[in-house]
Structure 1
Amino acid sequence: MLKLTVSLMRRPSRSAVSLLAAAVLGMGGPMGHAQVNLPALGDSVSQDLDLGTERRIGDQVMRQIRPDPDFLEDALLLEYLQSIWAPLVTTAKQLGNIGDETNERFAWEIFLVRDRSINAFALPGGFVGVHLGLIAMTNSADELASVLAHELSHVTQRHIARRIAGDSRNSMLALAGLVAGLIVASRTHSSDVANAAIVGSQAAAAQASLSFSRDMEREADRVGFTVMNQAGFSQAGMYSMFERMEQANHLMDSGSYPYLRSHPLTTERIGDARLRMGTTDYERPVGSAEHALMAARAKVLMDARAEAWIALQNLDAGARELSGKGSAESKGYEQLAARYASALASIKMRDYPRAENALRSAELTLQLMGHDARAERLLRYLRAELNQARGQAADGYAALKPLAAERSRPMLIQKAQLARVDPNPAKVREAAEGLQTYVSLNPMDPLAWAELGALWSKLDQPLRAVRAQGEERAAMGDLNGAIDRFRSGLRQSRGRDADQVEAAVIDSRLRSLLYERRQLLAEMYPRGVPPGAELP
């Protein structure tokens, strides 16, 4: 805002009439003629932005996000995140924060973003993104749950719709102040007054917008605290998380000018969280081996630079001499996490002997700490990942053998990835058929379709492979890419030896996607689709 103000004050002066014309033209579209309604609480805000429209906006945003390289598809991390997210959503429904219509229309989907920053965000329509940097810095599921409950509450309280309505009102407020200032300027023939009108009206609108956002943040903290507590997470999780954020940011944040921020000061939020705990004695939430391993995994995957991985490889050496504050149990978690991070980083660097040594150290550390089935499971997956990277599929299957009864998504994905380096066609077909059954029940899973496409290609099933590639693009929201793939499959199906059943499926899906694209374009361009907007 300060940079914008300076640039406006240095702008060459223009007549009041030309400035007014620029301001009116700058409003663009229907904004200048829209009826402005004050933002209301809860579902009554639907008069400004109904549930269906908000979901469509969210879908459009996700169509831009999913193809991005930083949209991370990691089956284990996503599974862990969903294990925290799902009970929060269920509790919000039980508390009445999520009504029947909102529950039906919104996605309630959580996803990962490859980013080192400590952040999470809510999007229209019930989508919530979590940066890997946030997972990496937490010490317990309770701390992570506090952030997810906060973002969930942004969705359930319709904060996005309320903000849009508020911004619309503030835009009109800014324009009104600008017009009034320009009228005065035209009477006084002063360009300084005109510039002051621009700066003043924009500053007033920005201040109103920021204040509105701070109120939303406080409400999300309050509602989120109740949700996480009722969902079975420690009520100290939010307090502990704010303390951790304060420690992470205090060197970069002087605490000045709190009213120029969209969030309340962290110290203020710490105090509010402590008050909500009442007379309960504060104890930092206890971590777990499972969370320590998932935080370590996030730490490795959040930064794909070689220098970052080399630094993480060296954590194994430092893990042997951990000292300082903390219980023996917490130090054990730190050692376990350090060795896991070193092993995974070594796999990424293709330093397999070092990865083997670090993984063995992690397995020994866990044995000394005592039996923990969830942590043992994660180390088995890491061993399978190491064997996959080495091209040793049989050893990878052997590592997963104690988990033979598991039918989870991570298991299906891991077996598919092992099958890609397996020369045994029977194993490849087994993995492909398992994934084919899964995607028939979960068709909006891009990673599963991508793995399935690779397996069908390896089995020399070109039509099935191209269909899987098309479904992958469709699941990502890339309708044009999906249509291209299905058209390619339709051309291939004209050969004599083509699988006619698969050809019929491809033809049906192509027709469905073309219809979906026409409907989408009709929504985007209600007055008619402009030339070139739709591919031939």
Structure 2
Amino acid sequence: MSTSAERRLGEKIARELYRDPDYIDDPVLVEYVRAIWEPLLQAARSRGELTSELDERFAWQVLLGKDRSVNAFALPGGWLGLHLGLVSVTTTRDELASVLAHELSHVTQRHISRLVNQEKRQAPLMIAAMILGALAARKNSDAANAVLSGSQAVAVQNQLNFSREMEREADRVGYGVLTQAGFDPAGFVSMFEKLQQASRLNDSGAYPYLRTHPMTTERSADLQARLQLTSRERTDVSSPAALEHALMAARARVLSSGGVDGQRALLSEAASLQAGAPSLRRAAALYAGSLAASRMRDTGLAVTYAQRLLDEQREVPAAARQARLLLAEVSLAGGRTERALTLLDAVSRSRPELLLRAQARLASGGASEVAQLLQSWVATQPRDAMAWQVLAAAYHSQGQTLRAVRAEAEAQVALLDYAAAVDRLKAAQDLMRRGAASGDHIEASIIDTRTRQVESLLREQALER
């Protein structure tokens, strides 16, 4: 399979994943995962595993899913899926990095292309449907039946499972990428042992990663041998990095616990904290308790827990930043807009701060400021669908309907939904014909140009069917 064909196939699948109710664009977790993912990509480039052709043609994007199952998966074209359930069971960033390095190596070694090539007699659309059906089967066998019959789903699942040789190669290459990127290789072994233990004790289907990446004694021994040969200082479990990871794992646990019972359990854990509880456990419980309380609409309790966390972590910059972001988030969710704004750095250009501040200023009547802020952002980050959506809301608040509709279209382009984008652009052109663009000739010109460009993408998409 050529790299171009694999890229197109990956975009088909990514387009459906964006539509999946489990897809989540959480700026805090996306930023955290990206900070782990980028060094791995750079290490793969340095080692020659990631060629310039693949680097240029493939997406290299990690999509988060709020599914509670412990799963991660590589897809054609450099797309990766990561369930929050997996993030929530990791103890260190090194463990999470080990999974990402392993999945990255499946892509750079063209394992997915080889598996898909086994079905080269099928049309690309059918192959995409088969992969989506297999992913659905890993999450929910009933959901899979909406895409494939049960027998087909089992057959496709078997076809898409990586061979033992591929797994060992991804272990070997991934281990090298992980260490070159500066992560503790012990994370590879500890994550492997955690999954291996789960494979022995858990048969409930909560660990679908085990079915596609079978844990074997041979693989475990190989990794242990590699670790013995690697001289590197072990990660301190009480380090600032470990503390920040504990907060991110807690966030993943809350966001993947959709039901009321799950949120109540997290609140109970925070409420039962003992004074002498270990610092990591205490910080994670306060973080989870605050976010869970906010989701249960108890703003007072959410703010109390977040403030306690911030007070306890002021001397640890990374943890203090996450606590401050949490306090701003729960304050804004509870209508305490001014409090949220005082907690956010007005000059920060990190995505979580920027989007939270934009939402807070929008809620407090600062639509014009938000529009200026996000115009600059999307000029350099055109694939940021959430930023386009907030920008659209800012334009609507100012009565700039034409610009708002165009921003809505750009959000759909970022999500690869070209049909929806064309619909919005056509709506904008209709507004122009009715005189809504009076005086805004530059915007009208942009809309005409973008309509032609996105229609071209839509035609290409249709031809691939």
**Under a length normalisation based on structure 2, what TM-score does the superposition of the two structures give?**
0.85
How far apart are residue 356 of structure 1 and its match? 1.8
What's the counterpart of residue 226 of structure 1?
A: 176
Q: CA separation in 2, counterparts of 1:354 and 1:206?
A: 48
Check conservation: 1:214, 1:262, Cα contact below 8 A. Answer: no
Contact 1:133 1:302 in 2 (8 A): yes
Q: 1:514 to 1:461 in 2, by over 3 A?
A: same
**Structure 1: which 4+ aligned runs deviate by more than 4 Å?**
166-169, 205-212, 279-284
**Are 1:408 and 2:350 an aligned pair?**
yes
Structure 1 unaligned runs (5+)? 1-48, 170-201, 255-259, 324-330, 525-536
Residue pairs, 1:162-201, within 5 angstroms: 162-166=114-118
Does the C-alpha gap of structure 1 residues 167 and 506 become closer, same or farther in structure 2, counting only changes over 3 Å? closer
Aligned residue in 2 for 1:419 = 361
Counterpart of 1:428 (choices 362, 367, 392) is: 367
- TM superposition shift of 1:390: 2.0
Tell me the residue number matched to 2:70.
118
Cα distance, 1:68 vs structure 2? 1.9
**1:295 and 2:240 matched:** no
Identity of counterpart residues, as a percentage? 44
**What's the RMSD between the two structures over aligned residues?**
2.5
2:333 to 389, 393, 399: 389
Task: Give 2:172's aligned amino acid.
Answer: R
Counterpart check, 1:62 vs 2:14 = yes
Match of 1:519 in 2: 460
Q: Deviations over 1:86-133 (max 9, x none)?
A: 000001011000111111111111121111111110010001111101
Matched with 1:318 is: 272
Label 1:365 to 1:320 Cα distance change in 2 as closer, same or farther (>3 A): farther
Matched letter for residue 341 of structure 1: A
Matched, 1:380 2:324: yes
Given the alignment, which residue of 292, 301, 319 partners 1:354? 301
Q: Distance in 2 between matches of 1:484 and 1:168?
A: 34
Q: Which residue does 2:391 correspond to in 1?
A: 452
Structure 2 CA distance for aligned equivalents of residues 68 and 262 of structure 1: 21
Inter-partner Cα distance in structure 1 for 2:113 and 2:199: 30
Aligned partners of 1:96 and 1:508: how far apart in 2? 39
Secondary structure at the counterpart of residue 115 of structure 1: coil
Q: Give deviations 1:156-202, integer Å, cap 9, x for gaps.
A: 00001111234569xxxxxxxxxxxxxxxxxxxxxxxxxxxxxxxx9
**TM-score using structure 1 length:** 0.74
For residue 278 of structure 1, give the secondary structure of its aligned residue in structure 2: helix
SS in 1 for 2:273: helix
Compared CA separation, residues 383 and 266, structure 1 to 2 (3 A): farther
Q: CA offsets, 1:282-331, max 9 Å, x none?
A: 997434211111111111111222221111111212332676xxxxxxx2
**Are the structure 2 counterparts of residues 318 and 208 from structure 1 closer, same or farther at C-alpha, using a change threshold of 3 Å?**
closer
User: Which amino acid letter does the alignment assign opposite residue 325 of structure 2?
Assistant: Y
Residues 154, 73 of structure 1: alpha-carbon distance in 2 compared, 3 angstrom cutoff: same
2:49 aligned residue: 97
Check conservation: 2:341, 2:361, Cα contact below 8 A: no
C-alpha separation in 2, matches of 1:513 and 1:207: 34
Residue 451 of structure 1 and its aligned partner are, at CA, apart by 1.1
In 2, Cα distance between the equivalents of 1:514 and 1:500?
Answer: 21
The one-letter code sitting in structure 2 at the alignment partner of 1:397 is: L
* Alpha-carbon offset, residue 432 of structure 1: 1.7
Count of matched residue positions in the alignment of Structure 1 and Structure 2: 422
Distance 1:55 1:316 in 2: 45
